Structure formats: structure tokens, C-alpha cells
Amino acid sequence: MTVFLLFFSYSCFSQEDVVLNEKNADEQHFEVLLRKLGLLDTSFFDQSSASFRYGDGRQIVEMATRDGRVVGRLINHVYRDKGILFSTTSLTEKQLGSLDSLLKAYRVDTVPSGQKIAHWPIGFDGATYTFAFGCGGDVRISSYWEPGLVDLPEAKEIVAFTNALAIALDLDKQYTAFKDTWPREGCYLIGGMTTLCFAGNPVFLGFSGSTAYPLGYYMAKRFSLFSSHSHLLLQLSQRFNTDNETNYFQVNAIASKLFLIKDGLEDFLKIGFQHRRILLGSEMYTVRGASVAYGFSGKKMSIGIGGEYLKDDLKSRSGLNWYTNYFGLKIFDIDAQITFFKGQVNYELGAQKFVSWRSGWVSGIHIRLFTEQFYGAHQFGINLGVAL
């Protein structure tokens, strides 16, 4: 750990304006967070310490010298309703060594605060990265709003350091483990921008209609399966067209976390059944079918591959089924299901959004827009409902 001591000895005398008396709004917010966590009362930046602190809205990393020893910790935190939840983990000697090496290699202590860098934007939401360097009682604080969205050399330096830090300390895995301990009720504000609400396993119920079947409904409900980790999602949808007596009925069962639960990766099995009366030209057909897909879900995407079997009044057919769901966008989630038959492709593409709205017996609003091609016929539709 000698390198760590040498780094801070150098950094103490390499800064201009080491003491930052006028803090911007983000830095003041960071101080408020530290006070709520009880970290301002620990004399972390006292007269005898060489110290480093970093926060990104979800986690805080600290390292300091204490009586000739190097100590450090990781604090995971999240705002919950009107309070805050957090957990603290001590950094190992190996992690402290890695952190020291990163500080020496990237020298983020020499990067001016974002407010002092020309053309660095100031946002009203999103993540802000805050750094604090302390030496002999003096403290330098700097903050950077969404450096990953800023095309400046200084931003690239900050992003390179934070990415390397996340890998060295396995920050994503640490936060996922912390997230698994949250009570499954109430709303959580993650990283200053993402709101996650648990509604006590609600029932989704609403209107479903399309250009081919204008009237209908849909329902969805999640159940525990085998253990508290595994679960089964049941989805049911039915639509009608009273003018030509066509109709559509579908039920899906999606079982998750069956055999694999590891480092943010889990498996799932999707089974679906459908029954349709469709009008092709002047002929009415009844189509029945079943599909199955097995795949894996990560932090932002799930992909499954399987097969689908359809039987109508004339013949039966089978094809390769591909299912995916992308939930890495901030605005909405995207889902797609495509089946390749010989001489025919059926597909359904959708974009959906859930908005938390805790009012009486309603805990949220759900909307999904979709387009479909089935047996060569196209249609557009919408699901609009509430979580109860």
C-alpha cells in the first residue's frame, strides 16, 4: 500500500484550488446524501487523513489512511419513498490495491470539475459523478453530469476511470446483491433518474383491441414458482370482431429463474397457446397453435429460441420461433416474436411502458402498442390497462 500513500502525497500538492468553498447544486446534494448516511460525522476528511471518495448516485466508494493503515468501504444506497436504504461493505486489501492503481493510472484528481469545463452541459436529471480528494484537512470536490453523454476529452477520462473502477470492485454485482434485499413494496429512486415501484404483485387488467379485432381485454398475473426466486407470469388476451364473427384468444405462460440464476443472468421458458377465427379473402379459417421458447435474460435484454406449431382447416405447419424483449431504453420496452415457416413469416412487434401511479387501488398504468403479421394479414393494436 506504499503506492497509495505516495499518490496522495503527490496529489495534495498537484491541485489548484484544493479547497472548493462554493459548491454547485450537485455537490451540495452529495453532501446532503452523506449527511443522511451519517458519513459527514465520521471525520473522514480529518487533519491526519489522505482520503478519496467517489459517488455515482447509487454507490459511494471511500479510501483513506488511518494511523498508517489504508482502509476503504463501499456504500450501496437507494432512496425509498421518504427514506433511504443503504448497506456498507469493507474493501479488501486486493480491492484497495486496485483502487490505488486506478487513481495513479488515470489521475482523475487533475480533471477540473464539470462546471469549470467549457461546453460541459448541465442536466436536470440523470446521473452525476462526484469526486472528493482530501489531504491534511483540505478537500477538493468535483462533479460531472452524465459524462457518458458528453463528447469532451475530460468526459472520456472520467468514463474510462469509472468503467475501470466498476470492473475492479465488481460494482454492478454488489449493487444487484443489495437490490435483492429491498422490501418488495413502495417506490425506489435509483441513481437520481430511475424509479422502480413494487405493487405487491398486482393484477394487470385492461382493454385490448386491434384493426382486425376491435374489442377485447387482457389480463396478466405473476405467481411464485418452486421458490421465492422463481416465478410464473400468466398472460391472457382475447379480442373480437362482431361484424364478421372473427376472434382471437391467446394465453402465455413464462416461467423464469428455473435452472440458472447467476450474476444478473437468468433463464426462462415461454409456452403459448392460441385459437383464432380469421377471414382470408371470403373464406373463414380456424387456426390453433402452440409455441415454446427457452432462453436467457440479462440486465437489459432477454432472448429465447424455440418452435411453433399451427394447424388450420387445410393443413398443419411448424417453424422456428424467436422471442426477444429489450428493456434497456429509458422511454419504453421493446418486444418481438417471429416465427419462420416454409414460405411464410409470422411476427408481432410491440413497444410498452408502465407508469407507476399509486392512487387508491390503482398502482400503475400500462400501455402497449403492437403490429402483427399473421397468415399474410397485417394489423395494428393497443393494450391499455391498469395494475390493481
- Residue-wise pLDDT tens digits, 279-302: 888 889 999 999 999 999 987 899
pTM: 0.55
pLDDT of residue 18: 38
First-residue to last-residue Cα distance in the chain: 55
pLDDT band at 10 (very low <50, low <70, confident <90, very high): very low
Q: Return the pLDDT at 3.
A: 40
The lowest-confidence range among 101-110, 137-146, 302-311 is 137-146
Q: Show the DSSP H helices in the chain as ranges.
A: 2-14, 25-36, 93-106, 153-168, 171-179
Q: Of 337, 260, 343, whose CA–CA distance to 304 is shortest?
A: 337
Mean pLDDT of all residues in the chain? 83
Average pLDDT over residues 53-65: 88
Give the cell for residue 284.
373463414
Q: Rounded mean pLDDT of 124-151?
A: 82
Give the residue, 35 or 133, on which the prediction is more confident: 133
Residue 61 has a pLDDT of: 93
- Compute the half-sphere exposure of residue 177: CA atoms within 13 Å on the CB side of its CA: 13
341, 317 contact by CB (below 8 A): yes
Separation of alpha carbons 249 and 53, rounded Å? 56
Per residue in 288-347, pLDDT (tens digit) is 999 999 999 987 899 999 999 999 999 999 999 999 999 878 788 999 999 999 989 999
Instruction: Please report where in the chains the cell 419462420 appears, as a residue.
Output: 340
Partners of 354 in the β-ladder: 366
CA distances from 9 to 6, 14, 157, 179 (A): 5, 9, 22, 37
In whole angstroms, what is the distance from residue 275 CA to residue 208 CA? Answer: 16
Q: Which residues are CB-contacts of 145 (< 8 A; sequence separation ≥ 6)?
A: 26, 114, 120, 121, 122, 123, 126, 127, 128
Question: Which range has the worst mean pLDDT, 2-6, 38-42, 69-73?
Answer: 2-6
H/E run at residue 362? strand 362-374
What integer pLDDT is reported at residue 82 of this predicted model?
65
pLDDT value at residue 357: 73
Between 213 and 36, the higher pLDDT residue: 213
Please identify which residue in the block is written with the cell numbers 416465478.
Answer: 231
CA 386, CA 367: separation in Å to the nearest integer?
9
CA distance 96 to 326: 36
- pLDDT for 142-198, tens place per residue? 889 889 889 999 999 999 999 999 999 999 999 988 888 887 666 777 766 566 666
Centre a 10 Å sphere on the Cβ of residue 26 and count the other Cβ atoms it contains: 23
pLDDT at 134: 79
Which class does domain 199-387 fall in? mainly beta
Alpha carbon distance 382, 366 (integer Å): 11
Concatenated DSSP letters of 221-273: EEEEESEEEEEEEEEEEEEEETTTTEEEEEEEEEEEEEEEEETTEEEEEEEEE
Residue 86: predicted pLDDT: 87
Quick check: 81 pLDDT over 50? yes
Instruction: Tell me which of 124 and 238 has the higher pLDDT.
Output: 238
Residue spans in the chain of domains classed CATH 2.40.160: 199-387
Residue 260 has pLDDT above 90, yes or no: no
Nearest to 1 by CA among 85, 78, 87, 64: 64
Q: How far apart are CA 76 and CA 66, in angstroms?
A: 22
Rounded-to-integer distance, Cα 62 and Cα 53, Å: 4
The whole-angstrom separation of Cα 356 and Cα 235 is 20
pLDDT classification of 199: cutoffs 50, 70, 90: low
The confidence band for 5, taking pLDDT boundaries of 50, 70 and 90, is: very low
Q: Return the higher-pLDDT residue of 378 and 122.
A: 378
Q: What is the pLDDT of residue 115?
A: 86
